[in-house]
A and B are shown apart, each in its own frame.
Chain A
């Protein structure tokens, strides 16, 4: 009898608790533990807080409350799959796992289950091609956009000429870190700079030989595709060898406060690409303070409000909320299905005016997605770290990437995927 009771308890424990089906469900596949937990926490907080704000202030979207069940993945693909399966049945509308590994895992699954997957600034770059990746969206920018914008910025700084310059790429030796290599090689051909690839094995605690190599080769610029502890060590080592920080540019995932603060004053001048605003100088924070932070409803108590990664999490939530709104408008009903949400994403148009209306003027680039373009314009900008004031300053406007180089690459990669997975690209 005891064993029976125990078995029943275990079975009950294994059944995921299902939320009420009436609400709009946007699961938050977050990670607050493990090697990347420090970054994941901030992102998840921003994501949660925006939906809390919508629920508290507007009573949800179109009168429907939004539920954000959180599930811990620890940046681990198997736990990610478990989270996906356990939240799927509760009527999940869209997934945003913040992990390139889990994204690769979910791309085939969402195509079968017909649930949109929104991966802003990470995941599979060629998912921009909506003809092949019907259910995946990666606006406003992807890694190749980021690489191109970094190079464009350098071109700008050097009077439009990078001929004969040496650029080194320090990258996380994983799917994520390898993403920009192809693009940078193409760009190197086009602009005549030389590219040195310097991999760092995860986790990246020890990078002495990499930075000795940089010190020896004296590249003019260093780009970095890093994540987790690798960022802090790289920035510290760069400061140690007195590499000029203003020539050191990270991708957006290597551009948060926690990456630069351990290096202290040495990190001053470090730059990173970003596609979202940072800091609390936006009108939305007034609302957030009144409706979320002050009543004590902020995720984790709100220790990270306004940080770069928090802002990015919030931005992801903004785009999803806008897509839901669009879908409700198109479908004429407030209780939308994932398929209707996909249509909402495909007709999404977040203009600068709309952003200002949301209390986030100039927070992100204009996003306009269509059936064949799931990646938007790919615009991003540069930010620079001010170690004394401990804040990021935006130093350029949103710029367009070099689509001339990127478009064929995206077409090539997505077609290779279509062939491998046996997908016939749809007509748009």
Chain B
């Protein structure tokens, strides 16, 4: 009754093809953006920033990136952790080599470097498909982690191989380093998320996105109708890695502040991001956000309920948390294999008909 499209007239192709065709959605989106930019920064504290919001935003970028590759172009990748490491180490090298250049440029450059590396590891995708490709991308994961651990140049020859982000500022506000305030951390990530989500949305509904989807649905057929698999697959790897690289750069510089490659960018990270897009919904921008939120919030939530409220021993809580996460993943896949995005779409569909569903 409240949520409807009646009276919402489209007068051109432009308005018909917009991202939020329903007025209420549009308003909701504007309100959300306004709250995110104008209200949240004044309320946020260290706990909310570091435990919930900043990781959520950063993983949302990584999930967007992987969703472009896996959800839109159909190439399953388990190398996300390795590519995030490329972004992190690239931004570290750039930050320490050119301290006067703005960190924002460094982060973007780190994304660019990751894109090149991603393309390199994407080359085998022209021959290898399906699970073979998924396992093959693990080669990138393990090799990159080993490389960053082994070559001292990457960590500026520090004794232990850890990298630590020095302080850098944007508009006079520290965004990396220990003195960063919670709102600054949050805002820098939010800006990147906002721009990148907009970019992802517009890429995926344009020519490139259609090419990717054609490849995903059936690559031979796509080739026959004139989609070049070389450019389509490699562009998917490049753009996906660009996103993932930026996520890695932010994760290291803004969120963690210090990182050790095997620990921070191990195989678990690859699986985590893959979970996000599957639970959120393959091939959906909203799904990337929903999945990231789910996977970031759920463990924190369970931990606080089991340990904080029920007072269980932490190890038992941690084991049961694993069981719950595992079971929830299975339940989700059984109930709705297309993820949270699909549930959301169904809910909206129902709302539109409410209260007269028939």
A: which residues have CB within 8 A of B?
10, 13-17, 30, 32-33, 37, 41, 70-72, 74, 76-79, 81-82, 84-86, 88-89, 100-101, 104-105, 107-109, 111-112, 124-126, 173-176, 178-179, 182, 201-202, 300, 413, 416-417, 420-422
Q: Which A-chain residue is minimally distant from B319 (CB atoms)?
A: A33
Q: Which residue of B lies closest to A108 (CB)?
A: B178
- When distances are taken between beta carbons in the complex, the residues of chain B under 8 Å from A173 are 149, 262
Q: B20 to nearest A CB, angstroms?
A: 20
Q: Does B202 contact A (CB under 8 A)?
A: no
Contacts of B45 in A (CB 8 A): 89
Q: Mind listing 12 A-B residue pairs with CB under 8 Å?
A: A33-B319, A33-B322, A41-B315, A71-B314, A79-B299, A81-B50, A81-B256, A89-B46, A101-B162, A104-B258, A112-B178, A421-B164
Q: Decide if A30 touches B314 in the complex (CB within 8 Å).
A: yes
Q: What residue of chain A has the Cβ atom nearest to residue B50's Cβ?
A: A85
**Which of B149, B258, B305: most chain A CB closer than 10 A?**
B258
Q: Which of B71-79, B108-116, B153-161, B327-335 contacts A (4 or more CB under 8 A)?
A: B153-161
The list of the 6 closest CB pairs from A to B, nearest first, reads A32-B315, A108-B178, A17-B308, A175-B160, A72-B314, A82-B51
Q: What 0/1 readout, one digit per residue, does chain B (280-321) give for beta carbons within 8 Å of chain A?
A: 000000000000000001011101110111000111011100
Q: Decide: A421 near B301, CB < 8 A? Known: A32-B315, A86-B47.
A: no
Asked if B149 contacts A72 (CB within 8 A), the reply is no
A14 and B304 in contact (CB under 8 A), knowing A33-B319, A77-B264?
A: yes
B300 touches A14 (CB 8 A): yes
Answer yes or no: B52 CB below 8 A from chain A CBs: yes
Give chain B residues whose Cβ lies under 8 Å from the Cβ of A89. Answer: 45-47
| Chain B, residue nearest A28 (CB) | B314
> Are B318's CB and A32's CB within 8 A?
yes
Closest to B309 in A: A17
Listed residue (A72, A84, A100, A417) with the most chain B CB atoms within 10 angstroms of its CB: A72
Please tell me which one of the listed residues B159, B262, B314 contacts residue A32 in the complex, with CB atoms under 8 A apart.
Answer: B314
User: Which residue on chain A has the smallest CB distance to residue B258?
Assistant: A104
Q: Is B25 an interface residue (CB 8 A)?
A: no
| A106–B318 alpha-carbon span in the complex (Å) | 22
CB distance from B167 to the nearest CB of A (A): 6
Evaluate whether A416 and B158 lie within 8 angstroms (CB atoms) in the complex, with A14-B301, A17-B304, A85-B50 already known: yes
Q: Taking the complex as formed, is B183 at the interface, i.e. its CB lies under 8 A from any CB of chain A?
A: no
Q: Which residues on A sit within 8 Å (CB–CB) of B158?
A: 416
- Check if A105 sits within 8 Å of B258, measured CB to CB: yes
Alpha-carbon distance A179/B257, docked complex (angstroms)? 20
Asked if A74 and B263 make an inter-chain contact with CB atoms under 8 angstroms apart, the answer reads no
Of the candidates B258, B297, B305, the one whose C-beta lies within 8 Å of that of A108 is B258
Contacts of B260 in A (CB 8 A): 77, 101, 104, 174-175
- Check: B179 CB closer than 8 A to any chain A CB: yes
How long is the Cα–Cα vector from A13 to B167 in the complex, in angstroms?
33
User: In the bound complex, what is the Cα–Cα distance between A76 and B179 (angstroms)?
Assistant: 23
Q: CB-CB contacts of B221-236 with A at 8 A, as 1s and 0s?
A: 0000000000000000
Q: Which of A76, A81, A174 sits near B161, CB closer than 8 Å?
A: A174
- Chain A residue nearest to B305 (CB atoms) is A13
B314 with A77: CB separation less than 8 A: no
Contact of B315 among A17, A72, A107, A112 (CB under 8 A): A72
Chief secondary structure at chain B's binding surface:
helix
Nearest chain B CB to A223 CB, angstrom units: 17
**Set of chain B residues within 8 Å of A105, measured between Cβ atoms:** 256-258
User: CA A300 – CA B312 in complex, angstroms?
Assistant: 11
Considering the chains assembled together, what is the distance between the CA atoms of A107 and B158 in angstroms? 16
Residues of B within 8 A of A100 (CB): 160
- A16 and B47: CB pair below 8 A? yes
Residue in B166, B317, B318 whose Cβ sees the most chain A Cβ within 10 Å: B318
Min C-beta distance of B39 to chain A, whole Å: 15
In residues 145-186 of chain B, which contact A (Cβ within 8 Å)? 146, 149, 158-162, 164, 166-167, 177-179
**In the complex with contacts A109-B178, A174-B262, A16-B304 CB distance below 8 A:** yes
- CA A76 to CA B266, docked complex, whole Å: 11
Q: How far is the CB of A89 from chain B (nearest CB, A)?
A: 6
- Whether the Cβ atoms of A70 and B178 lie closer than 8 Å is no
* Bound CA span A105–B47, Å: 16
Partner of A178, one of B160, B164, B167: B160
How many whole Å from A375's CB to the nearest CB in chain B? 15
Q: Does B55 contact A (CB under 8 A)?
A: yes
Contact residues in A for B263 (Cβ distance below 8 Å) = 76-77, 101, 174
Beta-carbon contact of A88 and B305 below 8 Å: no
B278 interfacial by beta-carbon distance below 8 Å: no
Establish whether residues B166 and A104, one from each chain, have CB atoms under 8 Å apart when the complex forms: no
CB-nearest residue of chain B to A75: B263
**Chain A residues with Cβ under 8 A from B178's Cβ?**
108-109, 111-112
Say whether B300 contacts A82, CB under 8 Å.
yes
Contact of A201 among B146, B160, B166, B309 (CB under 8 A): B146
Q: How far is the CA of A202 from the CA of B322 in the complex (A)?
A: 22
- Taking a contact as CB atoms closer than 8 A, the residue among A79, A85, A300 that contacts B47 in the complex is A85
- Minimum CB–CB distance from A225 to chain B (whole Å) comes to 11
Q: Please, how many angstroms separate the alpha-carbon atoms of A112 and B322 in the complex? A: 34
Enumerate chain A residues within 8 angstroms of B159, measured Cβ to Cβ. Answer: 125-126, 178-179, 182, 413
Q: Mark B173-210, 1 if CB is under 8 A from A, else 0.
A: 00001110000000000000000000000000000000
What residues on A are CB-neighbors of B262 within 8 Å?
A: 173-174, 202
Closest residue of chain A to B49 (Cβ to Cβ) is A85
CB neighbours of A86 from chain B (8 A): 47, 51, 304
Tell whether B103 is near chain A: CB-to-CB under 8 Å. Answer: no
Query: Are A81 and B318 interface neighbours, CB within 8 A?
Result: no
Q: A76-B263, A88-B46, A108-B257 given as contacts; is B52 within 8 A of A14 (CB)?
A: yes
Q: How far is the CB of A411 from chain B (nearest CB, A)?
A: 13
A122 → B minimal CB distance (Å): 11
In chain B between 32 and 48, which residues have their CB closer than 8 angstroms to a CB of chain A? 45-47
A33 to B325 CA separation, bound complex (whole angstroms): 15
> Out of B51, B256, B317, which one reaches A85, CB within 8 Å?
B51
